[in-house]
A and B are shown apart, each in its own frame.
Chain A
Amino acid sequence: MADTLVVTPDITFIREVMASGGEDLKKCYQCATCSVVCELSPDEAPFPRRQMVYAQWGLRDRLMADPAIWLCHQCNDCSTRCPRGVRPGDVLAAIRQQVVLHYAAPRFLGRWLSQPRSIPLVLGIPAALLTLALLARDRVADALGLSVVPTGRIVFAYSSLFPRWMLNGFFGFFALLAFVAILVGVLRFWRAMRAAVPADRRGQPVAGLISSTLSALARIVTHRNFASCTTARSRFVSHVCTMFGFIALAVVSLWVITAAYNPLIRGDFVYPFSFWNPWKILANVGGVAVLAGCCLMIRDRLRENGSASSSSYADWALLFTLLLVTITGFFTEGLHFMRLEPHRHVAYFVHLVFAFTALMYLPYTKFAHLAYRGAAMVFAERYGQTREASSMAPVNRQDAQQEG
């Protein structure tokens, strides 16, 4: 029978979800309170009730292709109201980790990064790579005819240990790898989501790709989804701080990295900037914002731990990575202004290790949510699975009849 689902539960999947924050998954008795109270759940394709039963039954493939998993912003409105104390918010978070793992390429990196016991390895790799780069620096410089000491109109005097070309080359290489990895993951995710749309509607998206992307971007920038949460209201502020702080830092970094090729920059470009340089101010404000955002998130997580939500290793790993990147950044900055030798070089080294950890491992950590959630949101816009669109374009009529 074509309409019969052959059930073969993925036992490992169930156990992993239960081990990574969804330990009460099996308690769910399908009352659908969660779907009803969720402010983001579209009427025509409500979540997370359905996703809960799929997870209970180990229907991994369905969840891997479900944008709803990512439409959830874990505000925990469902978790605080669940009569069985299942915390669907945490279960979806655990499933999101599984999605990241599923699309991780190469997979072993995903495995490593999901386990606390590989922390030494995870940090050791960038440290070792950077050390190798340092050791090889002079030989490479000789071979390529580059100078270790800053020359020319771009003065890059943060640390004489790490010449600009070296950092650009080193980080550029790994950033490219990370970018390819996340791109592959997202494309595979997109294909899976598309395949899961019923065949008769697959060819009829309700919005164009560009307009969907713009709507999703508008949603992200305005934090509209966060704003609709009631239980985790404070997450709105912390995410705004962290996200925009991070963007500010990224913009400054890109400005600096690309300075040599930037036609806007004429004349000398001295890095590090002076304290009152507008770029420096932007970077410092961004850094403070990330710091504040992370601290708020940590406070919230500690406060709600065990009640509305309990945080998993992945949550803490991302938070602390961002926090440490920022703290070591400020530390380096301070030592730099004080011209403390050789402390500032050591601090910079540590900072670079954490920066590497945050950025280069992005496809394998919770940080990947920016790509997967972004893709899911674009997909939801395109196929009318947002709360606003649901009244216009029913996606799953069966759901509407059953739960609407």
Chain B
Amino acid sequence: MAKSPGVYICSGCSIGESIDVPKLAKVAESEFKVPRCQVHPVLCNPEGVELIRKDLADGAIDGVVIAACSPRVKTDAFAFDPTVVLDRVNLREHVAWCQKPNDEDTQMMAEDYLRMGIVKAQKSEPLEPMHDEISRKILVVGGGVTGLTAALEGANAGYEVVLVEKDSRLGGFVSTLKKRFPTAPPYTELTVDGVAAQIESVSYHPKIEVLTSAKILKTSGQPGMFDVTIATGAGEMKTRVGSIVLATGWKPYDATKLGHLGYGLSPDVVTNVEFERMAAGGPIARPSDGKAVESVLFVQCAGSRDKDHLPYCSSVCCMASLKHAAYVHEQNPDAAVYIVYKDIRTPGQYERFYRAAQDHPLNFLTKGEVVGVEKADSGALAVTVKDTLLDERIRIEVGLVVLATGMVPNAADGVAIRAVKDARATLARADATEPQKVDARNKIETLAHHEGTEILQLTYRQGPDLPAFRYGFPDSHFVCFPYETRRTGIYAAGAVRSPMDAARAQEDAAGAMLKAIQSVELEAAGAAVHPRAGDLSFPSFFLQRCTQCKRCTEECPFGTLDEDVKGTPQLNAFRCRRCGVCMGACPERIISFKNYSVEIIASMIKAIEVPEEEDEKPRVLVFMCENDAYPALDVAGLNRVQYDPSVRVIPLRCLGSLNIVWIADALSGGIDGVMLVGCKYGDDYQCHYMQGSELANRRLENVKETLQRLQLESERIQLTQLAINEYDRLPGLINGFVERIRELGPNPYKGF
């Protein structure tokens, strides 16, 4: 613990013009009796920083509290040994820039923030990095174009790579293509280079071990120390890897569900994947009679962008059909090719290929909806299309119909598999109640098809594979964090994480491999990966007091915690992302970080001076997500937006780390209201830890009951979702909440 932190106050950047800095320094000196308290006009310049360094070197202080600008800026200037306790009090963005200068309330705000900072420093302990035998080897799962690229990228960067492919040969889908999409300007010519060159490079690379016809039997351990058991033709083998790139690709959507588009009606209705195979195997002929193809109709979005099938766009089918049109005309320049689309989507440079295809006299493209495919008397297939560009319902007779089906990820839903397993266990249990059994049966019925799809075979408590996100893709599906999954050290790349074509998958492979490399390097340094990359803190569990309630193991978004037979959590620190969700979940408050704990935050709350009821100065505590809401408040300061001075902001690593005891502490301490500002949750969640603010919201439900028991209005607590770009909403939210608190009147527990 930093018993005697030094306090350094910066009076620059208009802090000194807004706040009475000498008076503020008195707080540190007289209230806390800190061994050093210095004021500097530009603390971040070398002279100011030297001041701090000197005191540290002298041993005069054992911690640093810098009261200056936001902790999000000047991190390079105020970089000290990580083992030194450091706290940054945000006087500039959160006080000086957004409050009335030289006002009594502004001064009180600054003083409270300084108190909170000093208390936090006093309660924090210096960090010590974890050390362990970290393997820097990287496992790549899948030997298609993504896996091959990832393996080469990793190996060329100097890392050992193990490439696992379930098939007997490398190359995946791309190796079966007749031609690939254009890869170079002018993007109007198809290319013939498949993945042969990459297969060769991978096969002979000294740093890549290739395992074909292989299957993962078990993956245990944690990032940096994954022990993977792999079954190959030559028997079982075990290897230790540091991180994993999941590049298992995709499978075509099941066309048998597309009877309404004629699949199954005639052998002449085929999918785009079947058509590709026909084209790659020689001249394209009608499957029914082997005759040459005179006319083809492509149905785009066959089972895609359709709520009854795949609700999403696979982004490649349009290009595939345009490519197939080129195949047809290569073979027969007089063949008529019809493409019926919802919208042609040819992302990026592929638009050029689309334009070139439009120019072909015998490509007939129309927006429209296929309403029927039937056999015509002539033996041809008659396709009826409505809502066409011709402004009429049209009927076209063609020799071949191709359904452009979409991509389904080759992923397993670990959470679903785990749920089925749990349900089966419930049914097997003698003491299960009838409603539990009904629930279990329902679960088995809806989720049983997930069994047997396992890929990684993780030994995690939360299931053997990555949890599936929207539409079954394991990617965290948030624009800021491509490749991230909900299992630390495992990165998804290529079509398994999002529908994409080979070129994009190759870029993806490089990106995911870079993530995997970062992961092993950070683990070797004992530090956290994204989003708290470099954080050396990690949670510790005071297990003597654990009641085996399993809340932490259930709620951890990253599967960090396993449990023993009794249900006691077992920490796998390298899987941890340091969000503190477990800390917020624990009713016994036995989980804490050295610099972030229930006690530290509680002390900060206690450090707030609550004015007497007669002063008519309410106090509102605001817990802010440090990833989105806190930066937004900084931006509000940057824009000099004023808001009510009654608020005191405490940043949380994640709103999911909110322990409800803090709210009880605050209210019993006389604070009039508590506001929580977290990221957006739901389908378009923006939480860095996937579910933080959602969990906080759930916990809040329980708090409100407690409030009612205490005869306190539940309106005294409010949770708000805020995106990082919504800084302009913040003052309104804060002022509105304070206004409502004023209307409710002071907290009756004031002064107790």
Q: Which residues of A contact B (CB under 8 A)?
A: 1, 3-9, 11, 14-15, 18, 24-27, 29-30, 50, 53-54, 56-57, 59, 398-399, 402
Contacts and interface: CB of A to CB of B under 8 A. Distances in A.
A164 to B, nearest CB: 53
A148 B397 CA distance: 67
Given A26-B363, A53-B389, A56-B364, A7 B395 contact: yes
Contacts of B361: 11, 14-15, 18, 25-26
Given A30-B389, A53-B389, A7 B362 contact: no
Given A1-B393, A53-B389, 6 more contacts: A4-B393, A5-B394, A6-B397, A9-B362, A26-B363, A27-B355
Among all A-B residue pairs, the 5 with the closest Cβ atoms: A5-B392, A4-B393, A5-B394, A7-B394, A4-B395
Contact of A5 (B334, B363, B395): B395
B358 A402 contact: no
A398 B391 contact: yes
Contacts of A15: 361
Contacts of B360: 26
B228 interface: no
B512 interface: no
A370 to B, nearest CB: 31
A26 B358 contact: yes
B395 A27 contact: no
B359 interface: yes
Contacts of A399: 391
A56 B336 CA distance: 12
Contacts of A57: 364, 390
B336 A9 contact: yes
B392 A4 contact: yes
Contacts of B334: 11
A27 B362 CA distance: 12
Contacts of B336: 9, 11
Contact of A11 (B362, B390, B391): B362
B298 to A, nearest CB: 15
A54 B334 CA distance: 19
Nearest to B338: A7
A122 to B, nearest CB: 28
B60 interface: no
Interface of B: 334, 336, 355, 358-364, 384, 389-397
Contacts of B392: 3-5
Nearest to B355: A27
A395 to B, nearest CB: 14
Contact of B395 (A6, A18, A29): A6
25 contacts: A1-B384, A1-B395, A3-B392, A3-B393, A4-B384, A4-B392, A4-B394, A4-B395, A5-B390, A5-B393, A5-B394, A5-B395, A7-B364, A9-B362, A11-B334, A11-B362, A15-B361, A18-B361, A24-B359, A26-B360, A26-B361, A26-B363, A27-B358, A27-B359, A398-B391
A9 B393 contact: no
Contacts of B362: 9, 11, 14
A25 B362 CA distance: 12
A26 B359 contact: yes
B390 A53 contact: yes
Contacts of B396: 6-7
A4 B386 CA distance: 9
Contacts of A398: 391
Interface centre among A9, A14, A402 (most CB of B within 10 A): A9
Nearest to B362: A11
A402 B391 contact: yes
Contacts of A11: 334, 336, 361-362
Contacts of B393: 1, 3-5
Contacts of A402: 391
Contacts of A24: 359
Nearest to A24: B359
Nearest to B359: A26
B394 A29 contact: no
A11 B392 CA distance: 20
A11 B363 CA distance: 11
Contacts of B364: 7, 9, 56-57
Contacts of B390: 5, 7, 53-54, 57, 59
Contacts of A1: 384, 393, 395
A192 B400 CA distance: 34
A108 to B, nearest CB: 24
A5 B392 CA distance: 7
Contacts of A27: 355, 358-359
A54 B361 CA distance: 13
Nearest to B357: A26
B392 to A, nearest CB: 5
A65 B570 CA distance: 82
A402 B387 CA distance: 12
A14 B333 CA distance: 14
Contacts of A6: 394-397
A7 B362 CA distance: 13
Contacts of A26: 358-361, 363
Nearest to A403: B391
A57 B391 CA distance: 13
B380 to A, nearest CB: 11
Contacts of A8: 397
A398 B390 CA distance: 12
Nearest to A28: B358
Nearest to B386: A4
Nearest to A14: B361
B300 to A, nearest CB: 16
A254 to B, nearest CB: 46
Contacts of A50: 391
Nearest to A62: B390
Contacts of B389: 30, 53
B177 to A, nearest CB: 27
Interface centre among B358, B364, B390 (most CB of A within 10 A): B390
Contacts of B394: 4-7
A56 B361 CA distance: 8
Contacts of A53: 389-390
Contacts of A59: 390
B362 to A, nearest CB: 6
A59 B392 CA distance: 13
A14 B336 CA distance: 12
Nearest to B367: A30
A53 B365 CA distance: 10
A343 to B, nearest CB: 51
A111 to B, nearest CB: 20
B391 A29 contact: no
A398 B387 CA distance: 13
